Structure 1
């Protein structure tokens, strides 16, 4: 692991072939929290999650540790939220050839209005070549939240960039773990349930599970390696039948 900003604790580590996790620990809540971005090094490199706007200098510094930031070609987001795309326009300025990458719904309702350049909007199942590898877009509306939500699957390294799924408390000190993250993520979810609990949760989970990921690139906490299909289905079992929390 390379510390790229000693003051903030921002760090970067390769978690799969050509896939780098950028992690910044924060003290927003008791026990700590973390924001992760994922850089995929290829001919047309994407950054999955931009991080919040005020975190831009830290994330750019970490990207520059791996490759020149201006080489970025895609700025991908799962759904429209500050930690997903808060610094989108700062990145578009830093990487002149880059474009936002998102679902068709995200482009229609938010991104094409907010972003300084039009998005590349992907349909469910669409594949995009990055060079020696490709990524596949998977629509997952309302999983865990947001009509426009979707995820990217790196078909070469079998990495699923799974956004807010399996959000863990703590600072994510381990870049990659094989230990259980389901119990941690469920314990974090219970007090402030951020899942929409849509009626087709089981089908949405299965839509991801059939891709058989071996690495789950979580936006908050450690990335995870193992039988991703089994872990996703285990999450589905926890979610199905649970009503949304009320105030």
Structure 2
């Protein structure tokens, strides 16, 4: 396997690895304190490590973040910590409380809802999103400089890995995937959480599976909310 590297917004790189029938993305934000969002599962570690090293030296990596505790989100976290001596885990306060203070080989930096972290000239803001799509500890990072929402599993596309960044339809493919395997928790606050994410007015959606997307991210997140609401009725 080889992990492909493409810049999808200024200074933000999509690291994509294809496996049979699926694909995994990590996103690397390059700044004074570089941040990797998602680690991939342990089986992809060697390929992902090599991809990071094509962009920055691993010794420069400072933060390793993820949306929620799941193998493809943070399975290779400790592997990366072992080769990135300055790096620390970055997660929600809930993730730190229930999992990461025990699972991670270094203490995590836990971000509160709405808390920002400065990476250099950029900053990222953590947005709690419990159970959207799944996981009590779930949340996302919004990078203000490029208006990029690191949106995890919200628009999971089984295909699309060969197209790093698209302005085409990703809701249709992601809804088709959800029809086969409904991974949303359908919690009570789902609509309010999606509206809050939409209100950040992202112009790039950094999806964990499939193509990253460029356009009116607020409108697309509201369209997702409407599709989920139709399921209820």
TM (normalized to structure 2)? 0.98
Q: Are the counterparts in 2 of residues 21 and 39 from structure 1 also a CA contact under 8 Å?
A: yes
Question: Following TM superposition, by how much is the alpha carbon of 1:218 offset from its aligned partner in structure 2, in angstroms?
Answer: 0.3
Structure 2 equivalent of residue 72 of structure 1: 61
Identify which of 47, 50, 68 aligns with 2:39. 50
Question: Following TM superposition, by how much is the alpha carbon of 1:240 offset from its aligned partner in structure 2, in angstroms?
Answer: 1.6
Runs of 4+ in 1 over 6 A off after TM superposition: none
1:215 and 2:208 are equivalent in the alignment: no
Question: Following TM superposition, by how much is the alpha carbon of 1:10 offset from its aligned partner in structure 2, in angstroms?
Answer: 1.8
Structure 2 equivalent of residue 16 of structure 1: 9
Which secondary structure does the structure 2 equivalent of 1:148 belong to? coil
Identify which of 94, 101, 107 aligns with 2:96. 107
1:194 and 2:193 are equivalent in the alignment: no
CA shift digits 1:127-146 (9 cap, x unpaired): 10000100000000000000
1:116 and 2:109 are equivalent in the alignment: no
Structure 2 equivalent of residue 94 of structure 1: 83
Which secondary structure does the structure 2 equivalent of 1:160 belong to? strand
Identify which of 47, 66, 73 aligns with 1:84. 73
Which secondary structure does the structure 1 equivalent of 2:33 belong to? coil
Aligned pair count? 233
Q: How many Å separate the matches in 1 of 2:84 and 2:68?
A: 21
Which secondary structure does the structure 2 equivalent of 1:70 belong to? helix
CA shift digits 1:177-227 (9 cap, x unpaired): 000100000001111100000111110101101100000000000000000
Q: How many Å separate the matches in 2 of 1:87 and 1:169?
A: 21
Q: How many Å separate the matches in 1 of 2:126 and 2:39?
A: 18
Question: Following TM superposition, by how much is the alpha carbon of 1:170 offset from its aligned partner in structure 2, in angstroms?
Answer: 1.6
CA shift digits 1:217-242 (9 cap, x unpaired): 00000000000000000000001252
Which secondary structure does the structure 2 equivalent of 1:240 belong to? helix
TM (normalized to structure 1)? 0.93
CA shift digits 1:119-158 (9 cap, x unpaired): 0000111010000100000000000000000000001010
Q: Are the counterparts in 2 of residues 197 and 242 from structure 1 also a CA contact under 8 Å?
A: no
Structural mapping, 1:118-197, within 5 Å = 118-170=107-159, 172-197=161-186
Q: Are the counterparts in 1 of residues 39 and 75 from structure 2 also a CA contact under 8 Å?
A: yes
Q: Which runs of 5+ in 1 are unaligned?
A: 1-7
